[in-house]
């Protein structure tokens, strides 16, 4: 397993060692001890979620307020996405900055997103299966988010906006400056 910190403190790209042969492939998708040894982070998974989406589905940018904030380890089981996370930690030197990465079933890359970040993705293939490992339980009353096209964030989505499939809830999310006045 290779672990590389992004320019956002505590946010890591994880590339597993993939073993291929005539039968297919095998890789260790998560190892608590190795992850802790390489990052210093004690990431205890308490909930795992999965979504299945067609091409153009944009989910996010979501986060949960304290005390239900969640760190997430995300990966694509089938298909391909552009995954984006935004640092919402007010005291962070990278507050409001984002990191984007293509995750796919071909590259098996994962992204660790610490607590205090908004997270979203857009699917680039039909029938994409996306997995989220979380270190805290979901709590509906603490869910929040930022609109995907917030001009302050200046996110570069790889599809034209008219191809997006977005929930009504996500279309009504506020801008970053509204949340953090």
Domain boundaries, the chain: 44-179
- What share of the chain has pLDDT > 90, as a percent? 97
- Mean residue pLDDT of the chain comes to 96
Q: Which member of 62, 98, 119, 133 is catalytic?
A: 62
pLDDT of residue 181 exceeding 80 = no
Q: Which member of 63, 132, 133, 148 is catalytic?
A: 132
pLDDT of residue 179 exceeding 90 = no
Q: Does the annotation mark 137 as catalytic? A: no
Q: What is the pLDDT of residue 180?
A: 80
Q: Does the annotation mark 132 as catalytic? A: yes
Q: What is the mean pLDDT of residues 107-126?
A: 98
Per-residue pLDDT reduced to its tens digit, 1-44: 899 999 999 999 999 999 999 999 999 999 999 999 999 999 99
Alpha-carbon span 78 to 11, nearest angstrom: 23
Q: What is the pLDDT of residue 153?
A: 96
Task: List, in order, residues 6 or more apart from 141 with CB less than 8 Å away.
Answer: none
Torsion of the alpha carbons at 180, 102, 113 and 119, rounded to the nearest 10: 40
CATH numeric code, 44-179: 2.60.120.10
Q: What is the mean pLDDT of residues 108-123?
A: 98
Pairing of strands 117-123, 18-21: unpaired
Q: What is the mean pLDDT of residues 97-121?
A: 97
State the DSSP code for 175: P
Beta strands in 31-79 (DSSP E): 47-53, 58-64, 72-78
């Amino acid at each position: 397993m290779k672990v590389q910190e992004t320019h956002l403190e505590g946010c890591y790209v994880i590339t597993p060692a993939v073993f291929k042969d005539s039968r297919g492939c095998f890789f260790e998708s998560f190892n608590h001890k190795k992850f802790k040894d390489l990052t210093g982070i004690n990431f205890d998974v308490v909930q795992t979620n999965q979504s299945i989406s067609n091409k153009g589905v944009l989910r996010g940018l979501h986060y949960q307020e304290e005390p239900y904030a969640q760190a997430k380890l995300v990966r694509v089981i089938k298909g391909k996405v552009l995954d984006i996370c935004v640092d919402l930690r007010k005291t962070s030197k990278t507050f409001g900055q984002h990191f984007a990465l293509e995750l796919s079933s071909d590259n098996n890359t994962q992204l660790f997103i610490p607590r205090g970040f908004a997270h979203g993705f857009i699917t680039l293939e039909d029938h994409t299966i996306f997995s989220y490992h979380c270190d805290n339980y979901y709590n509906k009353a603490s869910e929040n988010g930022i609109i995907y096209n917030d001009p302050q964030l200046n996110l570069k989505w790889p599809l034209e906006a008219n191809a997006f499939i977005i929930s009504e809830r996500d279309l009504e999310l506020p801008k970053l400056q509204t949340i953090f006045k």
